[in-house]
Amino acid sequence: MTLYLLFFDPDYGPKNLDLCGDGIRLRNGLYLIQSELTRSKLYHRIKWQLKDGAALLVAPLADDPKFKGMEAGSLKWLRDTES
């Protein structure tokens, strides 16, 4: 399993994005995803769900990110994925 950071312009995405793994929304258009997919496969599966012209970033994380001010439950979700 790999932890990924996902960003896309929310104006280009569907209301119910399939994260293709276990994930959580940090902010509108910003997600953490735990997935068995490779970066390339995850990128393309997300890309196919977005409207043409959408900005998209999928990056594997070598370690848990530090953050604050994100959606309620984000830190708990991240800690629970480590168990």
CATH of the domain at 72: 3.30.70
* Closest residue by Cα to residue 53 from 9, 14, 15, 19: 9
Cut 0.85: pTM above it? yes
What pLDDT does 14 receive?
Answer: 86
User: How many structural domains does the chain have?
Assistant: 1
For residue 57, what are the domain limits? 2-82
What pLDDT does 47 receive?
Answer: 96
Going by the DSSP 8-state scheme, the letter that residue 65 receives in this structure is P
- Cα angle for residues 28, 34, 39 (degrees, 5° grid): 90
Place of tokens 């312009």: 9
What pLDDT does 83 receive?
Answer: 59
Q: Digits of tens for pLDDT over the chain (83 positions)? A: 999 999 999 888 888 889 988 999 999 999 999 999 999 999 999 999 999 999 999 999 998 888 888 888 888 898 888 75
| φ, ψ dihedrals at 12, nearest 5° | -105, 0
